[in-house]
Amino acid sequence: MKVESRIFEICTGFFFVAAIVYTVLTHEPVGIAALFLTGGLSLIIGTYFRFVSRRLEERPEDNPEAEVADGAGEVGFFSPGSYWPIAVAACAALVGVGLAFFFWWLIIIAGVMLLIAVGGLVFEYHIRPADH
């Protein structure tokens, strides 16, 4: 994860430099706040990745002399066919429409549906222990 943390650290530097230049040139408060907050969020993500990278063993992506074959093998488990991501996206879109038009009833209904869809996605492969 060192590569990812380095990418976010470079982005953080860019955002803060851009925010300073923007401050000097424009004095426009909304853009200044947005650029500084973007730099701060990028700093949070980069710091998290740097913190996590110390606890993980080195991956092939972190070794500059690694070969393609070093990354071979099982990557992880991916669902072969799940409809839950579609449900999550549809419910999130409904929440967005409710927020855009400020329909409280739609926000509440879509929010409950979104929680159910996220629960379905998270617990899709959860198997209850046998009762015997």
- Look at residues 20, 54, 71 and tell me which one is the last residue of a structural domain: 71
Model pTM? 0.58
Looking at the fold, whether 50 and 95 belong to one and the same domain comes out as no
**What pLDDT is recorded for position 103?**
96
- Look at residues 71, 101, 119 and tell me which one is the last residue of a structural domain: 71
Are 2 and 48 within 8 A, CB to CB?
no
pLDDT digits (tens, 9 = 90+) for 3-17: 899 999 999 999 999
Residue ranges making up the domain that contains 91:
77-132
pLDDT digits (tens, 9 = 90+) for 53-84: 888 888 887 788 888 888 888 877 777 888 99
C-alpha span between 7 and 5 (Å, rounded): 5
**What pLDDT is recorded for position 87?**
97
Query: DSSP secondary structure string, 89-107?
Result: HHHHHHHHHHHHHT-HHHH
